[in-house]
A and B are shown apart, each in its own frame.
Chain A
Protein backbone atom coordinates (compact mmCIF):
# COMPACT_ATOMS: atom_id res chain seq x y z
CA UNK A 1 0.00 0.00 0.00
CA UNK A 2 1.39 3.45 -0.95
CA UNK A 3 2.08 5.78 1.98
CA UNK A 4 -0.40 8.51 0.94
CA UNK A 5 -3.15 6.01 0.22
CA UNK A 6 -2.42 4.31 3.55
CA UNK A 7 -2.99 7.56 5.45
CA UNK A 8 -6.06 8.36 3.33
CA UNK A 9 -7.67 5.02 4.33
CA UNK A 10 -9.78 4.96 1.17
CA UNK A 11 -11.47 8.24 2.13
CA UNK A 12 -12.29 7.08 5.68
CA UNK A 13 -9.25 8.68 7.35
CA UNK A 14 -11.37 11.14 9.35
CA UNK A 15 -13.06 8.19 11.05
CA UNK A 16 -10.30 5.54 11.20
CA UNK A 17 -7.48 7.66 12.68
CA UNK A 18 -9.54 9.35 15.42
CA UNK A 19 -10.74 5.84 16.34
CA UNK A 20 -7.14 4.66 16.85
CA UNK A 21 -6.11 7.94 18.50
CA UNK A 22 -8.92 7.64 21.04
CA UNK A 23 -7.95 4.02 21.71
CA UNK A 24 -4.37 5.19 22.43
CA UNK A 25 -5.71 7.85 24.83
CA UNK A 26 -7.84 5.27 26.70
CA UNK A 27 -4.96 2.78 26.97
CA UNK A 28 -2.54 5.49 28.14
CA UNK A 29 -5.07 6.84 30.68
CA UNK A 30 -5.65 3.36 32.06
CA UNK A 31 -1.96 2.71 32.53
CA UNK A 32 -1.21 6.15 33.98
CA UNK A 33 -4.19 6.22 36.38
CA UNK A 34 -3.48 2.68 37.62
CA UNK A 35 0.15 3.59 38.33
CA UNK A 36 -0.90 6.81 40.07
CA UNK A 37 -3.48 4.92 42.15
CA UNK A 38 -0.86 2.39 43.30
CA UNK A 39 1.69 5.10 44.12
CA UNK A 40 -0.92 7.01 46.16
CA UNK A 41 -1.85 3.81 48.04
CA UNK A 42 1.83 3.09 48.76
CA UNK A 43 2.28 6.62 50.12
CA UNK A 44 -0.78 6.27 52.36
CA UNK A 45 0.42 2.88 53.60
CA UNK A 46 3.90 4.30 54.33
CA UNK A 47 2.35 7.19 56.23
CA UNK A 48 0.14 4.79 58.23
CA UNK A 49 3.17 2.61 59.00
CA UNK A 50 5.17 5.63 60.17
CA UNK A 51 2.33 6.76 62.45
CA UNK A 52 2.03 3.27 63.95
CA UNK A 53 5.76 3.13 64.56
CA UNK A 54 5.64 6.58 66.18
CA UNK A 55 2.73 5.51 68.43
CA UNK A 56 4.58 2.34 69.45
CA UNK A 57 7.67 4.42 70.23
CA UNK A 58 5.72 6.84 72.41
CA UNK A 59 4.02 4.16 74.50
Chain B
Protein backbone atom coordinates (compact mmCIF):
# COMPACT_ATOMS: atom_id res chain seq x y z
CA UNK B 1 0.00 0.00 0.00
CA UNK B 2 2.84 2.37 0.91
CA UNK B 3 4.66 1.57 -2.36
CA UNK B 4 1.55 2.77 -4.20
CA UNK B 5 1.47 5.90 -2.03
CA UNK B 6 5.15 6.66 -2.64
CA UNK B 7 4.70 6.11 -6.38
CA UNK B 8 2.04 8.83 -6.30
CA UNK B 9 4.71 11.20 -5.01
CA UNK B 10 6.84 10.65 -8.10
CA UNK B 11 6.18 13.35 -10.76
CA UNK B 12 7.18 11.18 -13.76
CA UNK B 13 4.87 8.39 -12.54
CA UNK B 14 1.97 10.83 -12.03
CA UNK B 15 2.63 12.39 -15.46
CA UNK B 16 2.51 8.96 -17.12
CA UNK B 17 -0.63 7.84 -15.27
CA UNK B 18 -2.40 11.13 -16.09
CA UNK B 19 -1.47 10.84 -19.77
CA UNK B 20 -2.76 7.26 -19.91
CA UNK B 21 -5.99 7.92 -17.99
CA UNK B 22 -7.19 11.13 -19.69
CA UNK B 23 -8.53 9.67 -22.97
CA UNK B 24 -10.28 6.75 -21.21
CA UNK B 25 -11.94 9.05 -18.68
CA UNK B 26 -13.02 11.40 -21.47
CA UNK B 27 -14.53 8.55 -23.53
CA UNK B 28 -16.37 7.13 -20.51
CA UNK B 29 -17.61 10.64 -19.60
CA UNK B 30 -19.03 11.09 -23.13
CA UNK B 31 -20.90 7.77 -22.85
CA UNK B 32 -22.32 8.50 -19.39
CA UNK B 33 -23.32 12.06 -20.29
CA UNK B 34 -24.80 10.93 -23.62
CA UNK B 35 -27.08 8.44 -21.87
CA UNK B 36 -27.87 10.91 -19.08
CA UNK B 37 -28.81 13.64 -21.56
CA UNK B 38 -31.10 11.46 -23.66
CA UNK B 39 -32.72 9.84 -20.63
CA UNK B 40 -32.97 13.10 -18.69
CA UNK B 41 -34.29 15.30 -21.47
CA UNK B 42 -36.50 12.87 -23.38
CA UNK B 43 -37.25 9.70 -21.41
CA UNK B 44 -37.62 10.79 -17.76
CA UNK B 45 -41.11 11.94 -16.78
CA UNK B 46 -41.83 15.55 -15.78
CA UNK B 47 -42.18 16.28 -12.07
CA UNK B 48 -45.75 16.36 -10.72
CA UNK B 49 -45.16 19.79 -9.16
CA UNK B 50 -42.37 21.41 -11.21
CA UNK B 51 -43.34 20.01 -14.62
CA UNK B 52 -40.62 20.09 -17.29
CA UNK B 53 -38.55 22.62 -15.28
CA UNK B 54 -37.26 19.68 -13.25
CA UNK B 55 -35.05 18.71 -16.21
CA UNK B 56 -32.58 21.35 -15.02
CA UNK B 57 -31.77 18.96 -12.16
CA UNK B 58 -29.69 16.80 -14.55
CA UNK B 59 -27.16 19.64 -14.90
CA UNK B 60 -27.59 21.55 -11.65
CA UNK B 61 -27.18 18.69 -9.13
CA UNK B 62 -24.10 17.06 -10.77
CA UNK B 63 -22.35 20.45 -11.03
CA UNK B 64 -23.19 21.33 -7.40
CA UNK B 65 -21.99 17.92 -6.17
CA UNK B 66 -18.82 18.27 -8.22
CA UNK B 67 -18.12 21.74 -6.81
CA UNK B 68 -18.02 20.21 -3.31
CA UNK B 69 -16.16 17.04 -4.32
CA UNK B 70 -13.44 19.01 -6.14
CA UNK B 71 -12.95 21.34 -3.17
CA UNK B 72 -12.62 18.36 -0.82
CA UNK B 73 -10.09 16.75 -3.18
CA UNK B 74 -8.18 20.03 -3.41
CA UNK B 75 -8.05 20.33 0.39
CA UNK B 76 -6.99 16.67 0.77
CA UNK B 77 -4.22 17.10 -1.83
CA UNK B 78 -3.09 20.27 -0.06
CA UNK B 79 -2.99 18.45 3.28
CA UNK B 80 -0.95 15.61 1.75
CA UNK B 81 1.44 18.18 0.26
CA UNK B 82 1.87 20.02 3.57
CA UNK B 83 2.09 17.00 5.88
CA UNK B 84 4.26 14.65 3.78
CA UNK B 85 5.94 17.42 1.71
CA UNK B 86 4.75 15.74 -1.49
CA UNK B 87 5.04 18.35 -4.24
CA UNK B 88 2.61 16.51 -6.52
CA UNK B 89 -0.08 17.33 -3.95
CA UNK B 90 0.35 21.04 -4.70
CA UNK B 91 0.17 20.27 -8.43
CA UNK B 92 -3.11 18.35 -7.97
CA UNK B 93 -4.55 21.20 -5.87
CA UNK B 94 -3.47 23.82 -8.43
CA UNK B 95 -4.93 21.80 -11.32
CA UNK B 96 -8.23 21.21 -9.48
CA UNK B 97 -8.95 24.82 -8.48
CA UNK B 98 -10.02 26.34 -11.84
CA UNK B 99 -12.11 23.27 -12.69
CA UNK B 100 -13.87 23.37 -9.32
CA UNK B 101 -14.47 27.12 -9.63
CA UNK B 102 -16.03 26.71 -13.07
CA UNK B 103 -18.40 24.00 -11.81
CA UNK B 104 -19.34 26.20 -8.84
CA UNK B 105 -20.25 28.98 -11.30
CA UNK B 106 -22.26 26.43 -13.31
CA UNK B 107 -24.11 25.32 -10.16
CA UNK B 108 -24.89 28.94 -9.22
CA UNK B 109 -26.06 29.93 -12.72
CA UNK B 110 -28.19 26.82 -13.30
CA UNK B 111 -29.62 27.13 -9.78
CA UNK B 112 -30.46 30.73 -10.53
CA UNK B 113 -32.20 29.75 -13.78
CA UNK B 114 -34.14 27.07 -11.91
CA UNK B 115 -34.98 29.43 -9.06
CA UNK B 116 -36.69 32.02 -11.29
CA UNK B 117 -39.70 29.87 -12.30
CA UNK B 118 -39.87 27.97 -8.97
CA UNK B 119 -39.22 30.70 -6.37
CA UNK B 120 -39.98 33.76 -8.48
CA UNK B 121 -36.44 35.11 -8.18
CA UNK B 122 -33.02 34.48 -9.69
CA UNK B 123 -31.26 35.05 -6.38
CA UNK B 124 -32.05 35.01 -2.66
CA UNK B 125 -29.66 35.27 0.27
CA UNK B 126 -30.62 31.76 1.24
CA UNK B 127 -28.17 29.63 3.33
CA UNK B 128 -27.51 27.13 0.49
CA UNK B 129 -27.01 29.80 -2.18
CA UNK B 130 -24.90 32.01 0.07
CA UNK B 131 -22.64 29.18 1.24
CA UNK B 132 -22.18 28.04 -2.38
CA UNK B 133 -21.21 31.62 -3.30
CA UNK B 134 -18.68 31.57 -0.42
CA UNK B 135 -17.31 28.35 -1.94
CA UNK B 136 -16.71 30.23 -5.20
CA UNK B 137 -14.89 32.99 -3.27
CA UNK B 138 -12.76 30.33 -1.58
CA UNK B 139 -11.78 28.88 -4.95
CA UNK B 140 -10.94 32.40 -6.18
CA UNK B 141 -8.93 33.03 -3.00
CA UNK B 142 -6.94 29.80 -3.37
CA UNK B 143 -6.12 30.57 -7.01
CA UNK B 144 -5.18 34.19 -6.30
CA UNK B 145 -3.07 33.34 -3.27
CA UNK B 146 -1.03 30.82 -5.27
CA UNK B 147 -0.10 33.58 -7.73
CA UNK B 148 0.42 36.29 -5.13
CA UNK B 149 3.95 35.28 -4.12
CA UNK B 150 7.14 35.65 -6.10
CA UNK B 151 8.40 32.36 -4.69
CA UNK B 152 6.05 29.67 -6.08
CA UNK B 153 6.65 27.32 -3.13
CA UNK B 154 5.43 30.00 -0.69
CA UNK B 155 2.38 30.54 -2.91
CA UNK B 156 1.71 26.79 -2.85
CA UNK B 157 1.90 26.66 0.94
CA UNK B 158 -0.34 29.70 1.44
CA UNK B 159 -2.93 28.37 -1.03
CA UNK B 160 -2.81 24.95 0.65
CA UNK B 161 -3.49 26.49 4.06
CA UNK B 162 -6.48 28.44 2.74
CA UNK B 163 -7.80 25.33 0.96
CA UNK B 164 -7.58 23.31 4.20
CA UNK B 165 -9.20 26.01 6.35
CA UNK B 166 -11.91 26.58 3.74
CA UNK B 167 -12.95 22.93 3.70
CA UNK B 168 -15.09 23.73 6.75
CA UNK B 169 -17.50 25.35 4.27
CA UNK B 170 -18.15 22.02 2.49
CA UNK B 171 -20.37 20.49 5.23
CA UNK B 172 -21.96 23.91 5.71
CA UNK B 173 -23.04 23.93 2.05
CA UNK B 174 -24.30 20.34 2.26
CA UNK B 175 -26.19 20.61 5.56
CA UNK B 176 -27.37 24.23 5.13
CA UNK B 177 -30.80 22.97 4.05
CA UNK B 178 -31.06 20.91 7.25
CA UNK B 179 -29.60 23.38 9.76
CA UNK B 180 -31.48 26.50 8.62
CA UNK B 181 -34.80 27.39 7.06
CA UNK B 182 -34.14 27.41 3.35
CA UNK B 183 -35.96 28.04 0.09
CA UNK B 184 -33.80 25.31 -1.38
CA UNK B 185 -35.18 21.78 -1.32
CA UNK B 186 -33.59 19.22 0.98
CA UNK B 187 -31.19 16.43 0.01
CA UNK B 188 -32.63 14.06 -2.58
CA UNK B 189 -29.79 11.63 -3.24
CA UNK B 190 -27.00 12.02 -0.67
CA UNK B 191 -29.03 11.38 2.49
CA UNK B 192 -29.57 8.74 5.13
CA UNK B 193 -32.04 6.19 3.78
CA UNK B 194 -33.10 5.55 0.22
CA UNK B 195 -33.12 8.38 -2.38
CA UNK B 196 -36.46 10.20 -2.66
CA UNK B 197 -36.59 9.95 -6.47
CA UNK B 198 -38.18 7.31 -8.69
CA UNK B 199 -35.74 5.22 -10.76
CA UNK B 200 -36.83 6.83 -14.04
CA UNK B 201 -35.44 10.15 -12.80
CA UNK B 202 -32.69 8.82 -10.54
CA UNK B 203 -30.78 6.80 -13.17
CA UNK B 204 -30.36 9.70 -15.64
CA UNK B 205 -29.26 11.88 -12.72
CA UNK B 206 -26.71 9.32 -11.50
CA UNK B 207 -25.50 8.87 -15.07
CA UNK B 208 -24.99 12.63 -15.48
CA UNK B 209 -23.23 12.77 -12.11
CA UNK B 210 -20.92 9.93 -13.17
CA UNK B 211 -20.33 11.68 -16.52
CA UNK B 212 -19.42 14.95 -14.78
CA UNK B 213 -17.06 13.11 -12.39
CA UNK B 214 -15.33 11.31 -15.27
CA UNK B 215 -15.10 14.56 -17.23
CA UNK B 216 -13.49 16.19 -14.21
CA UNK B 217 -11.03 13.28 -13.97
CA UNK B 218 -10.13 13.70 -17.65
CA UNK B 219 -9.66 17.46 -17.46
CA UNK B 220 -7.74 17.12 -14.19
CA UNK B 221 -5.37 14.62 -15.84
CA UNK B 222 -4.72 17.03 -18.73
CA UNK B 223 -4.17 20.02 -16.43
CA UNK B 224 -2.05 17.94 -14.06
CA UNK B 225 0.30 17.06 -16.91
CA UNK B 226 0.77 20.79 -17.55
CA UNK B 227 1.29 21.53 -13.83
CA UNK B 228 3.89 18.75 -13.47
CA UNK B 229 5.74 19.94 -16.59
CA UNK B 230 5.77 23.53 -15.32
CA UNK B 231 7.12 22.48 -11.92
CA UNK B 232 9.67 19.92 -13.17
CA UNK B 233 10.86 21.84 -16.23
CA UNK B 234 14.54 21.55 -15.26
CA UNK B 235 14.42 17.78 -14.57
CA UNK B 236 16.13 15.28 -16.81
CA UNK B 237 12.97 13.19 -17.23
CA UNK B 238 11.06 16.25 -18.55
CA UNK B 239 13.82 16.92 -21.09
CA UNK B 240 13.52 13.30 -22.22
CA UNK B 241 9.71 13.43 -22.24
CA UNK B 242 9.42 16.59 -24.35
CA UNK B 243 12.13 15.38 -26.76
CA UNK B 244 10.05 12.32 -27.73
Q: Which residues of B contact A9 (CB under 8 A)?
A: 52-53, 55
B106 at the interface (CB under 8 A from A): yes
Q: Name A's interface SS.
A: helix
Interface residues on B, range: 35 or more
Given contact pairs A10-B51, A42-B229, A15 touches B116 in the complex (Cβ within 8 A)? yes
* The one of B51, B99, B110, B241 that contacts A19, using a Cβ cutoff of 8 Å: B110
Q: Which residues of B contact A37 (CB under 8 A)?
A: 222-223, 226
> Smallest distance from the beta carbon of B237 to chain A beta carbons, Å?
11
Given contact pairs A9-B55, A12-B51, A41-B227, A48 touches B234 in the complex (Cβ within 8 A)? yes
Q: Which residues of B contact A11 (CB under 8 A)?
A: 51-52
With contacts defined as CB atoms under 8 Å apart, how many contacts are there between chain A and chain B in the complex? 105
Residues in B lying within 8 Å of A, measured CB to CB: 41-42, 46, 51-53, 55-56, 59-60, 63, 98-99, 102-103, 105-106, 109-110, 113-114, 116-117, 215, 218-219, 222-223, 225-227, 229-230, 233-234, 238-239, 241-243
Residues in A lying within 8 Å of B, measured CB to CB: 1, 6, 9-12, 15-16, 18-20, 22-23, 26-27, 29-31, 33-35, 37-38, 40-42, 44-46, 48-49, 52-53
9 closest cross-chain pairs (CB), A and B: A10-B52, A41-B226, A41-B229, A38-B226, A34-B222, A49-B239, A12-B53, A9-B52, A37-B226
